[in-house]
Amino acid sequence: MNPLTALFDTFGQSIWLDFIRRDLLTGGNLQTMIRADGIRGVTSNPSIFHKAIAGSDVYDATIAGRLAHDPGIETEALYEALAIEDIQLAADVLRGVYDASGGADGFVSLEVSPHLANQADATIAEARRLWSLVGRPNLMIKVPATAAGIPAIEALIAGGINVNATLMFSMSDYEAVANAYLQGLAACNDPARVASVASFFVSRVDTAVDRALEEIGTDEALELRGRAAVANAKLVYRRFTEIFHGEAFAPLAARGAHVQRPLWASTSTKNPNYSPVKYVEELIGPETVNTVPLITLEAFRDVGKPRRSVDRDLGAAEEALAGLAALGIDLDDVTAALQADGVEAFCRAYDALLETLEGRRREMRRGR
């Protein structure tokens, strides 16, 4: 059996692909991955779109067509047109998964501009506009879990818009997002028709914490390397079960509402000393999603060993985080910095994407 398909069939974890590109959608590759690898969703972000457009020529014909139709189109509008076409194509390919799951799976995510991360009203307006333009029920709008993003998430859920709450690194991030989802559902006319995931970032936590541990340099510190990210995520999963299988969610469940599944993001292995499938194998369990880039997908297909792990060894997870605190590493400070850095990184990727498109426009003008 393909170990990827076992994740959902045996353990109830959905695998989403953290990658999008036009030829993946038009060449039948995504359909093949749905059938052979059990892919049940797609996520995107400005970095992914930048790599897709800058790293290939598969968009050139579409760009040329857009420019021929509207030579004065603004660069941001040009990007939006390309992105929306990709999102619509992916959503249509995944529609069968969405329908078969009763609207619980089969989503494709599109992010609001990262430059709006600290503007609640502008994020809400942009999310509503994108939701209307894409026009697919299995779209999720990605909204960062910043201070401004939390009320935006609540308002969008209340309005029946699916939300992928992203850039979460800490327990406080998670609890704020879960509460926003509950409050939004309570105000929603038909909570059974809205869905959300809470995207919790994993490997970047180890990258930052390992650096701090190596600076300390003691045997005790070095022993904790590679443990913070998984421990952090496991305790979030425990909190998820408390919230969504407790009294707080029961009245909403009675109205047909879906749980807000934790989604493990940033699951490619950054440290070559760690297993290439570390952040998949160690976080497997029911009612979760893991969104993986192609390299991690292929690695797990080759060497992955599916086993329920996300709710195992919680005592060891608590000890690992306590060990960090004893060494003077404040995980809340680390994760707050990671979220701020994440917003900045997406802004840089977004701006680089627009610069790439503007360069293509100039090249095509000279070519003609």
Judge whether 142 counts as a catalytic residue. Answer: yes
The alpha carbon of 130 is separated from its chain's Cα centroid by a whole number of angstroms, namely: 17
Q: How far apart are CA 231 and CA 147, in angstroms?
A: 24
Of 51, 142, 270, 278, the catalytic one is: 142
**Torsion sign (Cα): 152, 156, 158, 164:** negative
Closest CA to 207 of 111, 301, 285, 278: 278
DSSP E strand stretches across the chain: 13-17, 39-42, 107-111, 139-144, 163-168, 196-201, 261-265, 288-292
| Residue 178 near residue 243, CB atoms below 8 Å | yes
User: CA torsion 313→319→324→327, rounded to 10°?
Assistant: -150
Q: Are strands 163-168 and 39-42 parallel, antiparallel or unpaired?
A: unpaired
**Catalytically annotated residues:** 142
